[in-house]
Structure formats: C-alpha cells, structure tokens
C-alpha cells in the first residue's frame, strides 16, 4: 500500500478475476469513490470442477479501498483489509479459482492449519480436547446445512467435510504442540 501512487487501491489475488458485472460496478463508482471508505465485493469460488453457489458464497471481501482510511488486519493466513467507515457493497462477483484438485486442497489445508495453529499458540488461546471436535463439527454444519452447501452437490459435501477437517486439524495441532512442549 505504501508503494501505490494513488490513494485508491484495488487488491486482487493472482487466482482472482472480476466478472463483467463487477467491472461495470467499479467503473460506475470510479468518479465518486469518496462516497465510501471502501467497497466490498462478493467472492465466488470455482472448486475443482464447478462453481460453489452456497457453502463458500458469498464470501464478501473489501478489495477497493482508500489506503488512508484502511489497513491490513486479520489473522494469518486470513488477513484482510479493515476499515472503520462506510463500506458499500458492489454488484458482481470476484471469481476465485481456488483448487484444481483434492490433492491441492489437502496440501493447502496442511499448510494453513500449521499457520492457524501457530497463531492460536501465539495468542495463548485456550484449547481443550473438545475444541477440535466442536470447531470441526460446527464448521461442517455451518457450511453444509446452514449455508446450504448440500445444494452444491458432491463438491459442496467435500468442501464442507474438508473445511470441518481444517478446523479439526488446526486445534489438534495446537494440542499436540502444547503436549509435546510439556513432555520436553
């Protein structure tokens, strides 16, 4: 952000694209950006072979923002742009091309659970033997039932199970790290 030559920044990851509808929405506000501190956009994920319309959608992200009123925050690996003012939601989607295979998803899951576990340890967050189970089950139920991931077909089931597994593994890694350090 400090290297930008303008105050307004649009931030996209290398695996993201704007839909034509979102591009038009951005162009409509281009000359009146100051009506908000930032602009949020729904992110839609393409998972292995299909778009997910429920379990990971809409995943709203602030991606168009004024660098003078925004900052990077959140917890690694899920850092995000944070603003304190008025955010406007734009119509259209960011298309997120996430995982091309289950193997790729599992490698990312292993990597992100390591990072997430280290963040929990760094914050000294209490974790019990029940934590992996409750967090894992809640994540699965939230995505598959509450967010209606079952409507995303088999991909929705896989994403919900692996997301639950993500939480399960992250909290188990915290427990194992702490037990290993206690035993020397």
Q: Determine if the peptide bond prior to 77 is cis (ω within 30°).
A: yes
Q: Is residue 3 part of a domain?
A: no
Question: Is the same domain home to 30 and 77?
Answer: yes
Angle between helices 153-183 and 102-122 (to 10 degrees): 40
> What's the total number of domains in the chain?
2
CB atoms within 10 A of CB 28: 11
Q: Is residue 1 part of a domain?
A: no
Render pLDDT for 105-162 as a digit per residue (tens, 0 to 9): 999 999 999 999 999 999 999 999 999 999 999 999 999 999 999 999 999 999 999 9
Question: Is the same domain home to 32 and 105?
Answer: no
Render pLDDT for 43-100 as a digit per residue (tens, 0 to 9): 999 999 999 999 999 999 999 999 888 888 877 667 788 888 789 999 999 999 999 9
Q: Domain containing 135: what range?
A: 101-183
Q: Dihedral (C-alpha) 127, 132, 135, 138: value to the nearest 10 degrees?
A: -150
Q: Is residue 91 part of a domain?
A: yes
Q: Quick check: 106 and 158 in contact, CB under 8 A?
A: no
Q: CA gyration radius for the chain?
A: 19
Question: Is the same domain home to 30 and 105?
Answer: no
């Amino acid at each position: 952000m400090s290297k930008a030559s303008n105050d307004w920044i649009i931030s996209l990851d290398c695996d993201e694209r704007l839909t034509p509808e979102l591009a038009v929405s951005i162009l409509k506000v281009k000359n009146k950006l100051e009506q908000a501190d930032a602009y949020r956009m729904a992110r839609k994920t393409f998972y292995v072979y299909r778009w997910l319309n429920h379990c990971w959608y809409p995943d709203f992200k602030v991606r168009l923002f004024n660098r003078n009123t925004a900052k990077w925050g959140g917890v690694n690996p899920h850092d995000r742009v944070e603003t304190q003012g008025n955010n406007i939601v734009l119509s259209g989607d960011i298309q997120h091309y996430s995982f091309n295979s289950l193997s790729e998803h599992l490698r990312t899951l292993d990597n992100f659970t390591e990072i997430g576990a280290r963040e929990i340890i760094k914050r000294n967050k209490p974790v019990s033997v029940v934590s992996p189970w409750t967090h894992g089950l809640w994540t699965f139920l939230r995505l598959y039932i509450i967010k209606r991931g079952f409507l995303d077909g088999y991909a929705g089931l896989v994403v919900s199970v692996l997301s639950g597994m993500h939480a399960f593994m992250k909290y188990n890694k915290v427990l194992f790290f702490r037990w290993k350090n206690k035993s020397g």
